Amino acid sequence: MLVASGTFGFGEEYAELVDISRLGGICTKAVTLAPRAGNPQPRIWETPAGMLNAIGWQNPGLEVFLEEKLPTLRQYEVPIIVNVAGETRAEYVELAARLDNVAAISALELNISCPNVEHGGLQFGVAPDLTEDLVGAVRQVTDHVLITKLSPNVTDVSAIAQAAVAGGSDALSLINTLVGMAIDVEGRRPALANITGGLSGPAIRPVAVRMTWQVAEAVDVPIIGMGGITTAEDALQFIMAGASAVAVGTANFVEPTAALSVIDGLIEYCRHHNVARITDLTGAAHSGRQ
Amino acid sequence: MLTTQAELTRREQVAPEHYLLTFVCPPIAEQAQPGQFVHLRVTKGLEPLLRRPFSVMNVNLSQGSFQLLIQAVGQGTQILAQAQAGAVFDLLGPVGQPFPLPDGAEQVLLVAGGVGVAPLIFVAERLKEQPAPCYVQGLFGAQTEDYLCCWLEFSTRCDEFATATEDGSAGEKGLVTDLLDKQLDRGGVDRVYACGPVAMLAEVARQCQEQQVPCWVSVEQRMACGVGACLGCVIPTRCEGSQHYQRVCREGPVFAAAQIDWEAMSPELDRC
């Protein structure tokens, strides 16, 4: 059970409210080489059972991450997955290279799916050849476990998944947000300054479950499923669709202890159904389909 | 900051679309400082999904209660406006930086616009309770007399009090910042605290800078997490000449007025 990138900051924001040590890991807010100010306001807009966001990778940059954020994160004694993001191929590679000898990190999550930046991010996640090239380049400079975070804003998610695996990705996480938009009808303008934003929350869950299912049929690497998980039942849908792990995202904003409640619910489900390990259920729906 | 529950014990309409809500929740009553807010979940369901932030208007330590003044403008506030006594809500609080209250007896000017009066009522109360009580001047502006919500709660905590309405139905006809202008001209004001629409706050900040009076403002912003993680609620601020964004939920909601990049603050924020 992880918490998804961008929804749990660098851990410290939730430390006084959540027993972080119960989590299976933290995916950090996107880290870029240089500090980024992020997008202008408005950055968020509530939608039915969801929200749009266009934060724009606001983060203090790699150096501050290593000097200030990482030491704090380590105190929680949970695996740390650093979400790395760049505008160019060279930035991803340099980030990965500079994080390679950082032993406190358990894995890198390659962000090729953020829809809210002008350059980089999603650009690398919509074409299989670009995905494979970028993952391959990062693979060459790091021995860390490499997770590629996939976008739902593609024609064929299986092709991107296969490209990431071909490039050397050890695992895949999906889905990032769906590109969406809202209009502020009083102002007669886009609700977000960025015009479009990423849709997250329970509203996107069926899309995310479907993509988890498709990717599970296309590749053999572990999948971290996410997209609108708020309850144990939601998490079980992803697991049975083929996920080996799951992440809670937007629900953290609504209820800081959401991920812990999901853990409790999964334990309860396993007890009730005599399941020895939760991963015994991974992909269960594939064999059970009619 | 903690996650807890609060029981609504009283709901009272104080103006068109404006409601005063009383909640029992001893830890919030004990811990809340003027300017801090609670982040309230209006439903257990998914509609609306996100919590709603409200500044604490005052606390009653003996009853373990606190009050919120809400304007029913959207889905979340309308649910609260119709909630019945006995309803229990999840909340996160107290959140954010409070107004930095003076150590000694100062002359403090409070400038409230509309529903922005709420945190200033709490400020006024604490300023008068200090070992060396402050001299508190309150200025309150609204569209019409009807919208001077909780003016009695405000005025009784002030040593001097004046109102302005846009239609002249109560007090001076005009804007509350017209009153501020005259008050600052008279001199003697040691500091200013303000809460209200962005356009009002920008004018308050401008006047205070001109007169070199320290000023703090409480600002609003659309908010998701309330704990500093999502970076959704930021406002543009200036630091050593360069612009950067700060979080209303962590570094705010109270900011030194001189810190805010007012030109980049959109008046559209007022429709939040």
Question: pLDDT band for position A226 (50/70/90)?
Answer: very high
Who among B1, B50, B233 is closest to A254 (CB)? B50
A220 contact B CB<8A: no
> What would the mean pLDDT of B15-29 be, rounded to a whole number?
97
A228 contact B CB<8A: no
- Domain coordinates in residue numbering, chain B: 2-95
> What would the mean pLDDT of A31-48 be, rounded to a whole number?
95
List, as one string, the DSSP characters of B157-211.
Answer: T-SEEEEEETTSSSSEES-HHHHHHHHHHH----EEEEES-HHHHHHHHHHHHHH
Higher pLDDT, A290 or A200: A200
Task: For chain A, list the strands marked E by DSSP.
Answer: 2-3, 25-27, 44-47, 50-53, 80-84, 107-111, 145-149, 171-174, 178-180, 183-184, 189-190, 197-200, 223-226, 245-248
Q: Which residues contact B42 (CB under 8 A, 6 or more apart)?
A: B48, B51, B52, B76, B77, B79, B80, B89
A8 contact B CB<8A: yes
Distance of CA B120 to the CA centre of its chain: 6
* Interface predicted TM-score of the whole assembly (ipTM), two decimals: 0.94
CATH class of segment(s) A2-38+57-176+202-288: alpha beta
How close does chain A come to B51, measured CA to CA in Å? Answer: 6
Subunit contact A49:B90, Cβ cutoff 8 A: no
Measured between beta carbons, the chain B residues lying within 8 angstroms of A254 are 41, 49-51
Question: pLDDT band for position A288 (50/70/90)?
Answer: low
How close does chain A come to B47, measured CA to CA in Å? Answer: 6
Measured between beta carbons, the chain B residues lying within 8 angstroms of A185 are none
Q: What is the pLDDT of residues A127-157, one digit of tens each?
A: 999 999 999 999 999 999 999 999 999 999 9
Q: Which residues contact B93 (CB under 8 A, 6 or more apart)?
A: B1, B2, B4, B28, B31, B32, B36, B37, B38, B39, B56
Question: Is A27 labeled as catalytic in the residue annotation?
Answer: no
- Domain coordinates in residue numbering, chain A: 2-38+57-176+202-288
Q: What is the pLDDT of residues B194-246, one digit of tens each?
A: 999 999 999 999 999 999 999 999 999 999 999 999 999 999 998 777 779 99
Structurally, at CATH architecture level, domain B2-95 sits in Beta Barrel (2.40)
